[in-house]
Amino acid sequence: MNKIVNRIAAILLLAGIGIGVQAQSWTGPKEKPKSRIDLKYGPLNPGKRTDADMQRFREYGLGQFIHWGVYAIAGGEWNGVKAPTASEWIRVWSGNTAPQNWQQTYDNLYKQFNPKSFDARSWARQAKQMGARYMIITTKHHDGFCLWPSKYTNYTIAQTPYKKDIVKQLVDAYTAEGIDVYLYFSIIDWNNKDYRSASLKTEDEKQAYNRFLTFTRNQLFELMDNYPKMKGFWFDGTWDKAWINAYEWTYQLEKDLRNAHPGLIIGSRFRNDEHGKRHFDSNGDLLGDYEQGWERKLPAQYEWLNGNDWDCVMTIPPNGWGYIKIGRSFIPKRPMI
């Protein structure tokens, strides 16, 4: 585990700047609908924000994305067999190549999570030396394991041999170096028995998912309360039909989050409008404060942004977020920035 600690922060972030990078290009400029329709659950902040917090976001340039969780122990393989999934998705490994009782094995990996060499202050100093102005840390990925001691689940860092709050250490260390911290949060939670992905059909499913929504809300407010110096959320896992159909609830949740934390910055992945449109609503307007694309997504022309704020995550390798330990070199042949 100790060897993994220094190998997981291998992702760069680029916010709102035009630079040359090896990346996936956009397919073209986004065309807005020729006519507009009335929307009840469109953007809460139409147009570009002009407040100091958003202006600071525009000036970041380079950031650091730390994608860390119990999946780092597996590192994309098990007993020398490479999983056919992204390393951070390894819990869903199935089929002929999957180890016997794999999900049960994975769900017990937290008992091995003990990064004794972890030094948040050292990481923060290194990030400052490389020029990072902001950092994003995975508080909880799709497996549901929390890097903070959440009081709403037992599947947390507090139950590991390490026990100490990793999120707090990182927020404090990076803030002390003048680097703003954003919290990645996955809506998907495979560990929560009330989580649902498909459209809800039965009354039992609806009640279960309502409990899950309450759980999600509680964890988000818990993160803001525990780490008031955080600047915003970077959401993931918001494509499931159950979440998409909860548009009225997610609209109100965004309102409540912003009211509780003035200046909070939220990307376009958080929610959708009443017609299921994500990132951009049915009128082509940005949902959230900036466009939050997929990995290595850069516009070929600056004008394609249509004046929107944006960020791009330059993953190494191209489609890998978590640590991969099978012998490969992912050092780019050309500089990434």
pLDDT of amino acid 2: 45
For 60-87, write each residue's pLDDT tens digit: 999 999 999 999 999 999 999 999 999 9
pLDDT band at residue 133 under the 50/70/90 scheme: very high
pLDDT band at 331; cut points 50, 70, 90: low
* pLDDT tens string 15-63: 543 333 344 556 678 888 999 999 999 999 888 899 999 999 999 999 9
Q: What is the model's pLDDT at position 336? A: 58
DSSP 62-82: EEEEE--STHHHHTTEETTEE
Res. 296 pLDDT band, cuts 50 70 90: confident
Q: Which of 268, 219, 220, 216 is nearest to 246 (CA)?
A: 216
User: In the chain, where are the structural domains located?
Assistant: 2-314
- What pLDDT does residue 90 have? 96
pLDDT at 104: 97
pLDDT score recorded for residue 66: 96
Q: What is the DSSP letter of 290?
A: B
Q: What percent of the chain has pLDDT over 70?
A: 88
In one-letter notation, the amino acid at residue 264 is: L
Residue 199 burial (C-beta neighbours within 10 Å; 0-12, 13-18, 19+): exposed
SS3 136: strand
CATH for the 2-314 domain, from 3.40.50.300, 3.40.50.720, 3.30.540.10, 3.20.20.80: 3.20.20.80
CA distances, 103 to each of 109, 196, 205, 291 (Å)? 10, 18, 23, 34
Residue 3 has pLDDT above 60, yes or no: no
Beta bridge partners of 81: 78
pTM: 0.92
At residue 140, does pLDDT exceed 80? yes
pLDDT at 14: 57
- If you search the block for the tokens 């640590």, which residue do you land on? 323
Residue 45: per-residue pLDDT? 85
Contacts of 326 (CB under 8 A, 6+ apart): 75, 76, 77, 82
Classify residue 23 by burial, with Cβ atoms within 10 Å: 0-12, 13-18, 19+. middle
Q: Span 238-260, mean pLDDT?
A: 98
